[in-house]
Chain A
Amino acid sequence: MTAPPAVRTEAPVPPMGASGFLRWAWRQLTSMRVALILLFALAVASVPGSILPQRGNNPLLVDEWLAEQPTVGPILDSLGFFDVYGAPWFAAVYLLLFISLIGCVLPRVGVHWKALRSQPPNAPRNLNRMAAFTEQTANMSAEQVIADQSARLRKDRWRVRTGSTDETLWLSAEKGYLRETGNLVFHLALVLVLVAVAVGGLFGWRGNVIVKEGSGFSNTLTQYDAWGGGRLATADTIPPFAFTLDDFAVEFERSEAQRGSPRLFEATVDLQRDPQGPTERESIQVNFPISIAGAKVFLVGHGYAPSFIVRDSTGAVVLDDDIVFLPQDGNFTSTGVIKVPDSAPQLGFQGLFLPTSAIDDIRGPHSVFPDADDPSVFLSVWEGDLGLDSGIPQSIYTIDTEGMEQIGLRALVPGQAWDFGAGEIEFTGWQRWASFQIAFDPGKEAALAAAVLAMVGLTVSLFTRRRRLWVKAQPGAGASSLVQAAGLSKSEAGDVSADVQEVWDSMDAGRQEERQ
């Protein structure tokens, strides 16, 4: 066995003592190396959320996944893998990154502030060690060279300082301070983006509602099918508008290529912006939401609501309604249920609505085109107790068949009625429904402004080159002088040769003017 090499003991270890450790930890956290590691951690931490279904986007798929994976599922769930972007470990990564960013950037703001108000440093003793060093004799006095060059550089917005060492006159110039300014603006704007996102998350809200053609919606909490708000969201920010869905127009591609692809969705609504206000006709389309008092109404989905009349065994009408069915595939094979609690015994129907019907051995009844070219419903009827009085809230899209018995199965086309013994159901037709998302996000304008500021800062920073330029002029014989010029790029892999070249070009130009 060999002893560990002696250099090991010199490796950076945290010093003893609480304050020493804290200072060490802070230096580590704000170092570029740790920022780099945190950036990688952020990239890696984002990946699982794009592979596993997420509650925020698709809660049904999460439930399905959990049902299929009874062992791994709950473990992943408890670790937050189905809500990655709200998980504490994800927050830990980005918060550490932002602390690192602030800790790194704030001191640099101070340094840059000082640099902005100070003069460029003295010219170095030996210019020939610098990049793009060149020298030549000029037919001008040293004073003239330095004065001309200073004037030219100042005009080109260089910061110029002149001086002399022994007999040699020199100028030292610097340009491109915007590189660091842009860099700092970019990083600080990212902090603003985070703040704006947080404001939106805390005070914003979002709700979804399904509205059938001919039906109305008024914007109160109870009318929503689903509503979610941030921790500090209040009902005060829900504007009191109301609308009726007058018409919902849909068109699908009918030609061979991409048959069935949607081509047009348009909801025409009669909108009342406030309860006392007039009614206006508005159109809501995908990509064209309407705004009302800070909230926006988006068209996000649509489907079919088949219409039914149910009569009990005495012939009395116990249900006459359009029932919202939810689409299950791109051709709008839709499922839904009809609950009839007012008949004795209670009745329930599980249904399949096919806008363009087809049936085969593998897939059973399904739809082959999203528009209602040949609609039909497949119904299975259940008799017994719907369980509505149990006190447990029930979904309007499922029937709990535990206390029920299936008494029949039948396909119907519009206008057709079916006597199933305990009563009769008539499939009278269908309507469309549209689903709307109504969202309020008070942080989004600020987030956009901050993101644009970040982009501008970044662009300015990456396209500005910070560099220094020196010119030295040593008096020679008569009115001539020996002129040296060199530069130094302060940005990574920058090139100063063009700036040095310009020194000579401007002197040549000056001479030519004199001759003329």
Chain B
Amino acid sequence: MTSGAAGMELAEASNVFIYATMLTLSIAMVLFAASFASGRRPSTAKTVATSAHSSGSGSVAVLERDTDRPIVDSGRRLANIGMSLTWLATGLLTIALVLRGVWAGRVPWGNMYEFSISSAWGVLVVFLALSLRRDLRWLGLFVVIPALLTLGLAVTVLYTEAAQLVPALKSYWLVIHVSAAIICAGAFTVAASTAGLSLVQSRMESRGRSFSGPMSAMPSAERLRTFTSRIIAFSFPLWTFAVIAGAIWAENAWGRYWGWDPKETWAFITWVVYAAYLHARSTAGWRGDRASWIAILGLVTFLINYFGVNIFVNSLHSYAGV
């Protein structure tokens, strides 16, 4: 741990960057919200261009890849600024985490405060990484809100002064196990957002083809469900890896790789729920709204594991200075 006045400056700088992140994200949230509220069904003239079958090279990719309906004019500019601010906020948050790590002299994953801000970072990074491949401006609002909530909770309730690790955490498995868990936290959160949106959209669609309002500018329920299942198809193997890495670490630290400690049990429950999700996606009668509910349930079990087990249950994992 960096000691003395220099250390305190690092700590304060880290906190300043956290607040700057929150401020930036708040502005992004307002812009995304305004963009969402002004959303209208794209005019027919625009959809013709993307849905018509056209022959000749070059047009096929446009036809099939354009999976997400564009946000219409007025909201587009706001959402663009929102995206830029989200990039900025993620950069600021990265700096905050690095400063925190330098201050503590270790990876910044030693307690619930640090893990929470890292999870918020994970949510933003997963969202931005996905946005590189497709237009995700419509999703911005529903990713920035959970990231902001997590940061707010971290700063107000969970804040802890940085300190050295307890011996049980002094292992390179901390880096392997926890980094996988952080990316999963991000991916599960984004997937739960899109699953929730698909449920709303599916209700809108069941009212008839001519619904209007913000949701009419969003992707169809089917596309939202497909998107959700792709994120989970990516994060489920990663979660499997996180659990296996945790088991190897547990074997090293406690002499058994699986002991049904509450944290392990809930990691297992999360795994089983997402396994159920993948099965539901290929079971007739389940692939629609029911699967979306399971995706949300998966995130709920993850959150129970994180908050419930750390705070309320007597677990071997309850050491990290809540």
**Contact in complex: A261, B321 (CB < 8 Å):** yes
Mask for B221-263, Cβ within 8 A of A = 1, else 0?
A: 0000010011001101100110010011101111111111110
Known: A134-B55, A462-B237. A289 touches B162 (CB 8 A): no
Interface status of A452 (Cβ within 8 A of chain B): yes
What band does the interface of chain A fall in when counting residues whose beta carbon is under 8 Å from B? 35 or more
A184 near B: Cβ within 8 Å? Answer: no
Partner of A206, one of B256, B257, B280: B256
Contact call B240/A454, Cβ cutoff below 8 A: yes
A493 touches B230 (CB 8 A): yes
Partner-contacting stretch, out of A38-46, A115-123, A168-176, A471-479: A38-46
Which residue in B163, B269, B283 is a CB contact (below 8 Å) of A261?
B163
Q: Does B171 contact A (CB under 8 A)?
A: yes
Secondary structure of the B contact surface, majority rule: helix
B283 A61 Cβ-Cβ under 8 A: no
Q: Is A515 an interface residue (CB 8 A)?
A: no
What's the minimum C-beta distance from A437 to chain B, rounded to whole angstroms? 4
Q: Is A310 an interface residue (CB 8 A)?
A: no
Candidates A131, A197, A438, A462; contact of B234 at CB < 8 Å: A462
Which residues of B (297-322) have their CB < 8 Å from a CB of A? Answer: 301, 309, 313-314, 321
Instruction: Given A257-B161, A258-B321, A462-B237, check contact A441 B167 (CB 8 Å).
Output: no
Contact partner of A54 (CB less than 8 A), chosen from B226, B251, B260, is B260
What are the residues of chain A within 8 A of B249 when measuring CB–CB? 287
Taking a contact as CB atoms under 8 Å apart, the answer to whether B64 and A497 are in contact is yes
User: CB distance B161 to A258 under 8 Å?
Assistant: yes
CB of B47 closer than 8 Å to a CB of A: no
CA distance A132 to B234 in the complex (A): 25
A39-B262 Cα distance, complex, nearest whole Å? 19
Report Cα–Cα, A134/B61, bound state, in Å. Answer: 11
Tell me which of B57, B64, B248 contacts A495 (CB under 8 A): B64
From A261, A298, A497, contact of B60 by CB (8 A): A497
CB-CB under 8 A from B280, the residues of chain A are 36
Size band of the interface chain B makes with A: 35 or more
Q: Tell me the A318-349 residues at the B interface (CB within 8 Å).
A: none
**Interface contact A43-B160, CB-CB below 8 Å:** no
B275 part of interface (Cβ distance < 8 Å) = yes
Tell me how far the C-beta of B62 lies from the nearest C-beta in chain A, rounded to whole angstroms: 9
Partner of A257, one of B162, B229, B251: B162
Contacting residue for A35 out of B252, B262, B279, CB 8 A:
B279
B286 CB to closest chain A CB (Å) equals 7
Once the chains bind, are B262 and A36 in contact (CB under 8 Å)?
Answer: no
* Assembly CA distance A131 to B64 (angstroms): 9
| Interface residues of A, Cβ cutoff 8 Å to B | 32-33, 35-36, 39-40, 42-43, 46-47, 49-51, 53-54, 56-58, 61, 84-85, 131-136, 197, 206, 253, 255-258, 261-265, 285-289, 296, 298, 300, 437-439, 441, 444, 447-448, 451-452, 454-455, 458-459, 462-463, 492-493, 495-498, 500-501, 504-505, 508
Q: A56-B260, A57-B259, A300-B255 are in contact. List 14 more A-B contacts (CB 8 A).
A: A33-B286, A46-B265, A46-B268, A47-B265, A58-B314, A206-B255, A255-B163, A262-B166, A287-B167, A300-B254, A452-B244, A454-B240, A455-B241, A462-B233
* Interface pairs (20), CB distance under 8 Å: A32-B279, A40-B276, A50-B262, A132-B64, A134-B54, A134-B59, A256-B161, A258-B160, A264-B167, A298-B255, A444-B257, A452-B244, A455-B244, A462-B234, A462-B237, A492-B229, A493-B229, A495-B64, A496-B64, A497-B63
